Amino acid sequence: MKKETKEETGDVEKKIKLFLNNVLTNDPCVICGNRTEPGGLDFGIGKSLVCVECAKKHAPEIVEIREEALSFAKREKSMLASDIRHKINDEIYLSVEKRILRILDEACKDDGISF
Ligand SMILES: [Zn+2]
């Protein structure tokens, strides 16, 4: 494990940023050298990864922001899945009469006739 020096920790708080990372390699943390666990929304200095422990130590506010963002994204995904589930159910339980009318509308759409 790499030791931190004063020069490296000087204003490291200001340098650690959240970034969208599309390279999911377990590069070592640029501050402490420990293994990182990149997940797509990661901490870094430039494009070099910073581990969660170092981010918590040097920039705890962005750790909270990341947790909120991930929680929000998870909720949005869950709501989207729920919406898709409802749409599928609506289609499955659509009455025969409505299905026939929809098919006839589709078939006659080019003729300008509506059912
Ligand atoms: Zn670290």
pTM of the model: 0.61
User: Measuring CA to CA, which residue among 35, 41, 36, 50 is closest to residue 22?
Assistant: 41
Distance CA 74, CA 82 (A): 12
State in Å: Cα 28 to ligand 1 middle: 8
State in Å: Cα 93 to ligand 1 middle: 53
**Percent over 70 (pLDDT), the chain:** 86
Contact 52, 63 (CB under 8 A): yes
Task: Report pLDDT digits (tens) over 35-82.
Answer: 999 999 999 998 899 999 999 999 999 999 999 999 999 999 999 999
Q: Is the pLDDT of residue 108 over 60?
A: yes
Identify the sign of the CA torsion 25, 27, 29, 32: positive
E strands, 1-115, in order: 17-20, 41-45, 48-50
